[in-house]
Copies of this chain bind each other. A is one copy, B any other.
Amino acid sequence: MNPTPRKPSRKDAADNRERILSAARAALTESTGASLTAIARSAGVGIGTLYRHFPTREALIMELYRHHLQELIDLAPALLEEHPPLEALTLWCAQVARYGQLKAGVAQVVHAATNGGRDDEHYEPFVSAIDTLVRAGAADGSLKAGLDPEDVLLQLSVLWRIPAGETGEARAARILDLIIDGLRTPGA
């Protein structure tokens, strides 16, 4: 839809944006702790410049992982075409959990995106994706009717907070089962 969002018109700005992203990718890969000051320095721009391009740390990380998020969002309708709704939801959530376990950065940013709220441009597509899934499930009777996709997302956001590690994956799977059981039509 909007592959290169809001690319600056001026060349210097576009350049700096690219260099900041580059430096950030290098600095944040596998350690979300790098300081923005350091990233700015390593990108050869002032801290003010970094902040103009990415008003918050989240915004920066978000940009780095934008396409990961988009993949997740696109996955929902794709799964629905090949699976019954309940299964599609389950698979989708599992994938969501996997992303969380995979990259600490993704987890952090998605958690922010999903918990952050209305104003975040990444929040809405996520909610839509879930809405698609739960509506299909409601229509086919496998999920409760009238589920609020935001509620579901909020519940899922817990999956991002599971400490990655040995047992993290198993724990995510357990919790995911609990969540989905709660969404299913009782007694069906």
Do A179 and B162 have beta carbons less than 8 Å apart?
no
Bound form: Cα–Cα A178–B182 in Å: 5
Q: Size range of the interface on A?
A: 20 to 34
Partner of A154, one of B115, B175, B182, B186: B175
Q: Does A5 contact B (CB under 8 A)?
A: no
Interface code A123-146, partner B: CB below 8 Å = 1, 0 otherwise?
000000000000000000000000
Interface of A is mostly: helix
A–B complex contacts, Cβ < 8 Å, 24 sampled: A115-B161, A117-B163, A148-B174, A151-B171, A151-B174, A151-B178, A154-B158, A154-B175, A155-B158, A155-B175, A155-B178, A155-B179, A157-B161, A158-B158, A177-B182, A178-B179, A178-B182, A178-B183, A179-B179, A179-B182, A181-B181, A181-B186, A182-B182, A187-B187
